[in-house]
C-alpha cells in the first residue's frame, strides 16, 4: 500500500473498490469520460443533483455511494496528474495496490480507467496549469482608434487617440470588470515598449 501513488487516499479507495468492481462496463466508461472532462475545473461540480439522482437509478446503487465513487475517481485523476504518472504505472497500481479485481473480465475496469487517463491526461494537466491565483485575469481587450478634430478650447486639432477597454474577469464570481483608458501617440509608444520588454524576457526564459 505504501508504494501506491494514492497512498494518501487509500482508505477512501478501499471503500469504493467493491462498488466499482460491480458496475456495468459500458456505463462505467461513460462515467469515466464525464469525470475526466470535468476534473480540475474550478468552481464546478461534476454532476448536478438531478444527474446524481438519475445515476442512482441507472446503477442501482445509493446516491451516497455514487457520490463517493465519483469523488474517488476524480481523486485518482488528480493524483495521477500531480505525479504525471505513466499509464502502465497506473495500471499496475490499480490492480496490485488498490485491489481492482484481477479477474480477466473485470481487469477490464482498471484498463478502462487507464485508457481514460491516457486520453485525457494532457487536457487535465493543461487545465490544472491554467488555474488562476490572482483575483482577476484579463479575459479580453477591445479597442478603437479615434481622431479628435475639434474641442472647446481649440478650433482645429488632429489628435489620434486609442481607446482601450480591458475586460477583467473575477474567477470566483465570473463578473467582468471593464476598465477604459485613453492613449495618445506617445503614451501608446511607451506602453508598447513595455510590452516589448516583457516579450524579450519571455524569450530569454524559453531559451
Partner 1 sequence: MPDHRSYQDPFYGWTTPKAISLCVQTLKECSALPFEVIQKMIALSETQILNEQTSTSMLDILWKIAKKYSISIDQVMLIFNGFVHVLRLALKPPAAFLKPDIFKDDLRDLKFSEQIIGEFHNILFGTKRDQLYLAIQERDRPRLPSLQTFDWNLDVTLTTASLSRCIEPLLLFQFRTSDNRNLTFEVSIKKFNELRYKTALILKEMEDVDGKQALKLLET
Binding residues (CB under 8 A) for partner 1: these are 40, 78, 81-84, 125, 128-139, 141, 143, 145, 147-149, 151-160, 162-163, 166, 168, 177, 179-185, 187-189, 191-192, 194-196, 198-199, 201-202, 205
Instruction: Tell the smallest beta-carbon distance from residue 181 to partner 1 (Å).
Output: 5
Q: Residue 62: count other Cβ atoms within 10 Å of its Cβ.
A: 11
Instruction: Compare residues 105 and 156 and give the one whose CB is closer to partner 1.
Output: 156
Q: What residues have CB less than 8 Å from 122, skipping those under 6 apart? A: none
Q: What residues have CB less than 8 Å from 73, skipping those under 6 apart? A: 20, 31, 32, 35, 113
Instruction: Tell the smallest beta-carbon distance from residue 172 to partner 1 (Å).
Output: 13
Instruction: Compare residues 26 and 152 and give the one whose CB is closer to partner 1.
Output: 152
Instruction: Tell the smallest beta-carbon distance from residue 10 to partner 1 (Å).
Output: 19
Grid coordinates standing for 183?
492613449
Instruction: Compare residues 53 and 197 and give the one whose CB is closer to partner 1.
Output: 197
Instruction: Tell the smallest beta-carbon distance from residue 91 to partner 1 (Å).
Output: 20
Instruction: Compare residues 48 and 153 and give the one whose CB is closer to partner 1.
Output: 153
Instruction: Compare residues 35 and 110 and give the one whose CB is closer to partner 1.
Output: 35
Grid coordinates standing for 178?
471593464
Q: Alpha carbon 166 to chain centroid distance?
A: 24
Residue whose entry in the numeric block shows the C-alpha cell 495500471: 91
DSSP secondary structure of 27-44: HHHHHHHHHHHHTT-TT-
Name the DSSP letter for residue 22.
H
**Strand 136-148 relative to strand 176-183, pairing:** unpaired
**Distances in whole angstroms, Cα of residue 205 to Cα of each of 137, 188, 196, 198, 202:** 22, 26, 14, 11, 5
Instruction: Tell the smallest beta-carbon distance from residue 99 to partner 1 (Å).
Output: 25
Instruction: Tell the smallest beta-carbon distance from residue 53 to partner 1 (Å).
Output: 30
Instruction: Compare residues 89 and 157 and give the one whose CB is closer to partner 1.
Output: 157
Amino acid at each position: 500500500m505504501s508504494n501506491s501513488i494514492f497512498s494518501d487516499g487509500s482508505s477512501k479507495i478501499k471503500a469504493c473498490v467493491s462498488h466499482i468492481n460491480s458496475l456495468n462496463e459500458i456505463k462505467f466508461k461513460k462515467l469515466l469520460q464525464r469525470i475526466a472532462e470535468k476534473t480540475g475545473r474550478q468552481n464546478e461540480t461534476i454532476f448536478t443533483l438531478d444527474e446524481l439522482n438519475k445515476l442512482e437509478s441507472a446503477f442501482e446503487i445509493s446516491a451516497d455511494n455514487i457520490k463517493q465513487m465519483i469523488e474517488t475517481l476524480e481523486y485518482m485523476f488528480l493524483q495521477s496528474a500531480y505525479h504525471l504518472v505513466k499509464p502502465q504505472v497506473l495500471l499496475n497500481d490499480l490492480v496490485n495496490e488498490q485491489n481492482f479485481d484481477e479477474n480477466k473480465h473485470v481487469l477490464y475496469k482498471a484498463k478502462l480507467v487507464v485508457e481514460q487517463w491516457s486520453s485525457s491526461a494532457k487536457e487535465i494537466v493543461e487545465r490544472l496549469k491554467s488555474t488562476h491565483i490572482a483575483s482577476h485575469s484579463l479575459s479580453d481587450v477591445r479597442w478603437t482608434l479615434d481622431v479628435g478634430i475639434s474641442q472647446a478650447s481649440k478650433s482645429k486639432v488632429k489628435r489620434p487617440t486609442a481607446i482601450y477597454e480591458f475586460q477583467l474577469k473575477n474567477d470566483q464570481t465570473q463578473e467582468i470588470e471593464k476598465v477604459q483608458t485613453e492613449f495618445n501617440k506617445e503614451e501608446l509608444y511607451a506602453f508598447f515598449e513595455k510590452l516589448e520588454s516583457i516579450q524579450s524576457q519571455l524569450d530569454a526564459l524559453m531559451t
